[in-house]
Structure 1
Amino acid sequence: MTDTGPPAADEATFLAAVRSGDAARFAVLTERHRRELQVHCYRMLANYEDAQDLTQETFLRAWHKRETFKGNAALRTWLYRIATNACLDFLDKRHDRTPVPSELLGSELPYLQPYPDGMLPEDPQESVVARETIELAFVVAVQHLPPRQRAVLVLRDVLGWPAPKAADALELTVASVTSALQRARVTLREQLPGRRLDWRSPRTHELSDDERRVLKSYMDAHERNDLDGLTALLRDDLRFAMLPDPGTVVVGARDAVDGWVSGGLFRRGKDDWRCVATTVNRMPAAALYLRTPGDPEYRLLNLAVLHVADGKIAELTGFDVTGQPWLGLPPAL
């Protein structure tokens, strides 16, 4: 993401499109950045549908502001600047996206949505999709930051921008950016669960053998109606949340299982399951399909996203995913 030296081929071509008013060429050159910009907006907003909307807003703003592109900065940098400020404008207007009170557990964000891995940028080495910074725990922790601290942290620590570049994008002083980053890092460390690895440390994008094994066992337990088998997969200090319903965060495997049982899990009407393995946010996930009496098909009901630690499920985040075709899951089996 360096901006030094003469304009590269993309920037020169883009600058020519800007000067000629070639909307079609403009669209082609900006479109190639859609996926990484959408991930950026998702980190800022924690909601896939909002990220889609703000990415489109970024392209609209870019077209309307095309005369401000002089070729001095990389096209990618220019687009990230627009996207960041579009997200900040959105957060300034949407009061339901303000930081969550610190006394609430990190997973309780009714607007949190999973991010389908199929929509991530294709380059596995791209820093914007590093697993540690797309997993739910990180995305949720970032939401505890005030919007501009959030922007600073993402630009500096995720994208790796130097302080002057981030300051220019946000129209802040370098001192303000440095101070905001220090405060953001402290808050982030407080919000991330203590057992998590350093979110900036390198790690593979692929699921581990433990993750694959636990996911398979989780799905098998559902399909067999095996409550004991399901319980055995959970850490005692399990953190469970069911979104978008507020007030559903439960800490402790016993309390979580008691809640599932009282809700009728594995009783008639909730005892005929089929599961499909998938990944979201570079995490193992199970799409849960339920067939109710009299229905010939299994209907998509929930998505269970697992964080596996020491061979057991440490965090289980459930999402109501009915009517969300962007996840790429069949609505029925």
Structure 2
Amino acid sequence: MLEDWLAPKAAALEARGLTRRLRARAADGDLIDLAGNDYLGLARDPRVVTAAADAVRIWGTGSTASRLVTGTTELHEELESALAAYAGQESALVFSSGYLANLGVVTALGGPGTLLVSDEHVHASLVDACRLARSRVEIVPHNDVEAVEKMLAERNEPHAVVMTESVFSVLSDEAPLLELAAVARAHNAVLLVDEAHGLGVSGNGHGSVHGAGLAGLEHVVVTMTLSKSLASQGGVVLGPSVLREHLVNRARPFIYDTGLNPAACAAALAALQVLQAEPDRPAAIHAAAARLAAACDVPPSRGAVVSVPMPGPRETVRAAELCLQNGVRVGSFRPPTVPDGISRLRLTAHAGLSVADLDRACAVIVDAIGTVS
């Protein structure tokens, strides 16, 4: 039955050059990695690794239950306090993934009396959250503040949430946060900002919301992931304490999911401490991104990701394969992952890249693009 059902779907993807495949990587290797999201270069930092290993020895391998049973440890609370302080927020609540953090906050705020206004380029986790929220959803053109204001002004619902990303994950452009925050406040709405690609990168590492002077405002809510700059796993919702209390009681992905494991908590906390002790790391990310963008003749990035448009999905995959054969791992993003339908090479800058790494990577990438184009 499943063969008859699913084989035609697989064939349709293959015909369009959109089939995805898992590629296992080795633990060690000499590849230059421009595909992963280890923005600060801390995933193998001895301080972070040691903290994770120590947590396993002290707390065990798992959190043992949901956060409301036995899954909240002292590490969870220490991490939440540190994240809130660093981001300039009143409180924080850690989830077991960034995806679940977005699902949790949107569905807990959503419902028949809440309008959700979503930028058309938001991450899949926010898209899915809208589908689950039982709210009316309006999708507006990318970074269109006037369209957001129109939706808020014309709504009948007593509540509204405007959703955006601080730095968008594929195009790596920025949202107009100041304008969106002003419009949201004027229309008694909440602004929800996904800082998955902002933490550790923008706002001198504190994120774009903090950098824009919006941190701590009662109508601005932030989500972050712990799996990129903080080299761990998990997600967090930051905002007023009243929101945290609401999520503890209403966010189903928090209530019914096993808590984030202690090793991940300890690793994220250690990575945050390294970022605080070494505040120049975000600048190193931007310098590497600028070098990659210049080599590929594309506009400078606002975040760690450099997006290189390609002729089509097959050319994108082929260019990535050529790069890999020559010692450089890059991302190949194709529909539906790309919000505008244009296949791209996705190059991720990180703070650990040396000048020699960048020189080698730029030469390999430019040659691969020329070969397939």
With the length of structure 2 as denominator, give the TM-score of the two structures: 0.29
More RCO (CA 8 Å, sep 6+): 2
Report the TM-score when normalising by structure 1: 0.32
